[in-house]
Amino acid sequence: MHPDLLVKVLAAIEPEKIISLDRFQKACGISSRSVASSVLDYLEANNIGSVSKSLVKFSQADRMAAALLALQMRCDIELVSRCLSWKDFEKLASEILQSFGYRTRSNIWFVKPRMEIDVVGTDLVGFTIAVDCKHWKRSNLSSISKYSQKQAARVQRLIKYDKTISQVVPVMLTLHAESVRFVGGVPLVPIQRFRSFIIDVKGFLPEIYVASPTFQC
C-alpha cells in the first residue's frame, strides 16, 4: 500500500456515516474503482472501517487510526497533520483509555480562571490520566514548557473538583514527538506511543508531576 493513498483516505473518512464505494472513491480522488476497493480491504485488515456489499462505514476514531497507519508507513507528517483536527485526537485518546478499562470524560471546563481538560480517564481505584490534545504543526521548547505548566495547573483544579480521584497525571498528547519526553515533569507523548505509555505509566511516576488530594508535587 502506497502511503500517499492513505493520506487521500483521510479526507474521505466520514465517521458514523454509511457511504457507497463510489462515493468513497470520489472523495479519495482515486481514479480506479479496483484500487479504491483494495484500499478499503487494506484498511479493514488493519481494523479501520467496515465494508459490506459495497457500503463503507467508519467509526469516530478511524481517521486518527488511518493517520497513524500512514505515519508507520513513513508518510509525510505535515500532509497527515493537515487532515486531522484536535477532535480526532480526543476521540482516539478516549478510545485508547477505555480499552484499558478507564472511565473517560471529555471537555471538562472550569471557571475563575477559565480552563479546560480535553480528556480525563479514571481507573477503578481513582488513578487518573488527564490529557491535553495538542494539534501542533511544530512547537519549540519554550512554548511546550508554558503548555506543560498550564496542564499541571489544570490537574490541580481537577483533583480539587473530583473527590473520587486518588492521583492524577497530566499528559500532553501530540502528533510530532518521536518519543516520550518530560517537560517540567509533564509527559509529552506522541499519539502512536500512547498505548505503551498507559501500560508503563506507573513506572514513570518518579519522573512525572503527580497531584493527589493530600500532596501535590
Give pLDDT, residue 141.
Answer: 67
Give pLDDT, residue 140.
Answer: 66
Give pLDDT, residue 214.
Answer: 66
Domain boundaries, the chain: 3-82, 86-207
Q: Over the Cα atoms of the chain, what is R_g?
A: 19
Give pLDDT, residue 95.
Answer: 84
Give pLDDT, residue 128.
Answer: 96
Which contacts qualify for 139-143: CB closer than 8 Å, 24 or more apart?
139/176, 141/183
Give pLDDT, residue 178.
Answer: 67
Digit-coded pLDDT (tens) for 19-31: 898 898 898 888 8
Give pLDDT, residue 98.
Answer: 92
CATH assignment of 86-207, given 2.60.40.420, 3.20.20.140, 3.40.1190.20, 3.40.1350.70?
Answer: 3.40.1350.70
Give pLDDT, residue 139.
Answer: 59
Amino acid identity at 12: A
CATH for the stretch 3-82: 1.10.10.10
pLDDT in tens, the chain (217 residues): 777 788 888 878 888 888 898 898 898 888 888 888 898 889 999 999 888 888 989 987 788 788 888 877 877 777 777 777 778 778 888 888 998 999 999 999 988 888 899 999 999 999 999 999 886 655 566 778 888 999 999 999 998 888 899 999 999 988 766 678 898 899 999 887 888 999 999 898 998 999 888 655 5
